[in-house]
Amino acid sequence: VYETLPLPAKSNTHRNLARLKDQELSLEQFKSKGTLFREVTGYKAMLVHHSPTNSYWVLKSFPREFAKEYGQQQELREDIAEREKEALLALSHPFIVSIAGSFQDVVNSYVLEEFLPGGELSLHLSQLRYFDNKTTKFYMAQVILALDYMHRQGYVYRMLKPESIYLQVRNI
């Protein structure tokens, strides 16, 4: 999806983050540009465009009906998702994805996150097979700074893997 969409040359997400945090969010404010991924549980992430700010975001949705069907196990997953959302709202660091807010409708719960057009680190690793030392040190330094900041704020991150590291730029 990333490669086929006409995206702005420069990200304006941070400028618009404060504007969106102060707004009441709803699905009608966003136009879907495509699905980034989808799970069998109905959880999905879409690339969306917010016309009033001319900015791109990732809108993650989770069907509320699924939670009713799977009972206690799903309640635990929702609790984890809620804690993740609260942590992202509380954290402010250049190497941590920003979250603009969340909302619900009758069908889904939604979380609106900053769009990073560089995609997942794992995508770049699969294309290049490995990084040179300079590139490896560059990305590792950013990951270490983000983890250090999170730990200083009292958070522990347990899902560190190339699929959960997103890049701000298109090319490495």
- Rounded (5°) CA angle 80-85-90: 125
Residue 55 pairs in a beta bridge with: 50
Q: What is the torsional sign of CA 83, 85, 90, 93?
A: positive
Backbone φ, ψ for residue 152 (5° rounding): -65, -25
Q: How far apart are CA 59 and CA 101, in angstroms?
A: 10
Instruction: Give pLDDT, residue 171.
Output: 45
Contacts of 131 (CB under 8 A, 6+ apart): 124, 125, 139, 172
Instruction: Give pLDDT, residue 13.
Output: 59
Tell me which amino acid residue 18 is.
Answer: A
**Terminal-to-terminal C-alpha distance of the chain:** 18
Owner of token pair 């999806």: 1
The helix (run of H) or strand (run of E) holding residue 33 is strand 30-38
Give 10-residue mean pLDDT values along the chain (172 residues). 45 60 81 86 86 88 68 59 78 88 85 86 89 93 94 88 79 43
Instruction: Give pLDDT, residue 150.
Output: 93
What own/partner pairs with CB < 8 Å and gap ≥ 24 does 91-94 have? 91/149, 91/150, 91/153, 91/155, 93/145, 93/146, 93/149, 93/150
Instruction: Give pLDDT, residue 21.
Output: 65
CB 91 within 8 A of CB 153: yes
Q: How far apart are CA 160 and CA 30, in angstroms?
A: 30
Instruction: Give pLDDT, residue 84.
Output: 76
Residue 44 pairs in a beta bridge with: 38, 61
Instruction: Give pLDDT, residue 92.
Output: 87
